[in-house]
Copies of this chain bind each other. A is one copy, B any other.
């Protein structure tokens, strides 16, 4: 008769056998990710995208995931695969295999599409965002199957081919075939994109993905610039824009758009507990930016509440009169600003854009053109979800330091598309290969070799914990 402790022992032993296998295979795994990253899977480079897809599809097939594809004409194809385990939960892994362009080659000290191992790190485009994270998960599944022949729990994969340019394929599926997307996302938990370690080496689980509404404000007051001496009589686009912007937010960082804060969820006790424990390196940031204090002089918990729980409105750029070409004493006839509004639950981009337009019209800025493509809303999973315990246990089996919980990752992403078809789906960013300095989108993109290996093992542990 098997006791509970014997079962636990068996699982523990299983997991460690798989970990040993990962250690043996690691050199091979690094070669494999180098191959995946060698394909230039950048929007518009169809050969590079197709090569990635082929490799991943073959791998999904070999692992018994019965791969399928969606889209592929206007958008890069969405790849999916599923292998269930009767009576067990299913974990859905969302990743993307497209990458941002490499940018000017002069910025790189390595070759962007050739993974280089140096100083304990792997360097190259996509190694962290997101092909490394993606493949580490497939390799975790492969290792389990190689050692054990069966998975401890069900697994589904969703590989996005155009995440960096708006996730056209998932968007279309969500709109035109929501039932099909609902079937592909039939899981108990979604592990989102990537996860990272903090500077002290502890792994992080972020229980949300933010959403940003980006807006261009444009003013045109006449058909051309005029000499500055006409300033008393002619409308001035730069003035119109300055007044419009100042009407949007006051110097206390309060957004003045009617109803802007209506849907902001209050912080739960669990949120505040997570926030108070979250190690935000404020001194490091102040020193790095060489500033005496953060906005409003906030520190500690109040600062973290503002960052993680409050929406904000940011000007990204201003342009009028082309002063960079040299000073011109003119009445400028055009002016524009880019602003981005970071949303929090339950704010929706469409609603906030409507409120912004209403505000401008009400305040006398009907002449300010508002250009935006409002999409989405932030995704949050309660930080006291039972899955947090599961993640904590999985992390304990791999890392020497405990799991750190975060309210949300600060970046945006298409997680909301999954929520539109499956509102109940918990989504968490964890089990990844990144660190704070992974340099996503930069010419310094890298992962620590140790983090890559631990990312595989964390995924393995997570599957075992989920299978319990």
Interface residues, chain A, CB within 8 Å of chain B?
Answer: 210, 212, 214, 221-224, 226, 228-236, 238-239, 241-243, 245-247, 249, 251, 285, 289-291, 294-295, 298, 303, 306-307, 310, 312-324, 327-332, 335-338, 340, 342, 364, 410-412
Contacts and interface: CB of A to CB of B under 8 A. Distances in A.
A222 B287 CA distance: 10
A249 to B, nearest CB: 7
Contacts of A235: 291, 295
B229 A210 contact: yes
Contact of A295 (B232, B307, B322): B232
A290 B331 contact: no
A261 to B, nearest CB: 14
A287 to B, nearest CB: 10
B340 A231 contact: yes
Contacts of A410: 229-230
Given A221-B291, A243-B251, A319-B324, A306 B228 contact: no
Contact of A316 (B221, B306, B316, B332): B332
B338 A303 contact: no
Given A228-B212, A245-B242, A251-B243, A233 B295 contact: yes
B298 A228 contact: no
B310 A232 contact: yes
A319 B294 CA distance: 23
Contacts of A249: 239
A232 to B, nearest CB: 4
A290 to B, nearest CB: 4
Contacts of A231: 312-314, 340, 342
A285 B323 CA distance: 25
Contact of A238 (B210, B230, B318): B318
A223 B458 CA distance: 38
A35 to B, nearest CB: 31
A338 B323 contact: yes
A329 B318 contact: no
Which 8 pairs across A and B sit closest by C-beta, in order of nearness? Answer: A231-B314, A317-B321, A246-B246, A317-B323, A238-B315, A232-B312, A318-B320, A242-B245
